[in-house]
Amino acid sequence: MRENRMFLISKKRNIMSRLVTKEGLEKLQNEFEERTTTIRQKIANDIKEAKEQGDLSENAEYSAAKEQQAENETRIGELEALLKDVEVVERNDDDDSVQIGSKVSVRSNGQEYVFEIVGSNEANPAERKISNESPIGKALIGAIDGDNVDVETPGGIVKYDIISVA
């Protein structure tokens, strides 16, 4: 039933939209602001200084600065596209099930873990921020306290017991 519900929700969304939490949106906006002001200006200064050194054909500093400029401008373009199509998802506190923005305590193989379910652009496994599109995220979405979910992984099925949802 849950898979059907998720399928229907995704069919209604714009294919290019990106789900993020409020915190995720702020991080994207801050990165965009930093790249379009501070980083862009620093790179422009580096290019100017490198040009003043003379022959550009053998100038490693100039080549490095131009490469940084290209990488920065590419990331700015990516951020512009993301911010244009972003959809902020806030947790519905009236719903006890796992959703984007939930912090989920689970037990698996005798170990306890706390995952935060986030949009794919915010995912960071090292911080236990799990994408709603990941195998674990997909399995947890819609689950409630006391549920058991199976997650198919390359190493086989992993069972998770839901301890709490916040």
Residues 71-130: tens digit of each pLDDT = 999 999 999 999 998 889 888 888 899 999 999 999 999 999 999 999 988 999 999 999
For residue 74, CA distances in Å to 96, 134, 142 come to 40, 26, 36
Given 36, 59, 88, the domain boundary residue is: 88
Mark whether 114 and 78 lie in a shared domain: no
| Separation of alpha carbons 133 and 139, rounded Å | 9
CATH number at residue 106: 3.10.50.30
CA distance 23 to 121: 12
Residue 110 and residue 60 in one domain? no
Kindly state whether residues 11 and 51 are assigned to the same domain: no
d(CA 62, CA 57): 9
Cα–Cα distances (Å) from 8 to 46, 72, 121, 159, in that order, read 50, 37, 21, 26
What average pLDDT does range 64-73 have in this prediction? 96
pLDDT of residue 158 exceeding 50, the answer is: yes
Q: Cα-Cα-Cα-Cα dihedral of 152, 153, 154, 158, to 10°?
A: -90
Task: Specify the pTM.
Answer: 0.71
End position of a domain, from candidates 61, 88, 115 = 88
Cα–Cα distance between 28 and 122 in angstroms, integer? Answer: 9
Residues 74 and 96 in one domain: no
- Judgement on whether residues 75 and 130 belong to the same structural domain of the protein: no
Residues 41 and 78 in one domain: yes
Question: How many domains are contained in the chain?
Answer: 2
* Residues 106, 138 within the same domain: yes
Element (H, E) at 6: helix 2-12
pLDDT of residue 94: 85
Q: Which helix (H) or strand (E) holds 73?
A: helix 60-85
CATH number at residue 63: 1.10.287.180
What percent of the chain clears pLDDT 70, i.e. is strictly above it?
A: 90
Pair (166, 96) in one structural domain: yes
Enclosing domain of residue 71: 22-88
Same domain, 149 and 160: yes
Higher pLDDT, 89 or 163: 163
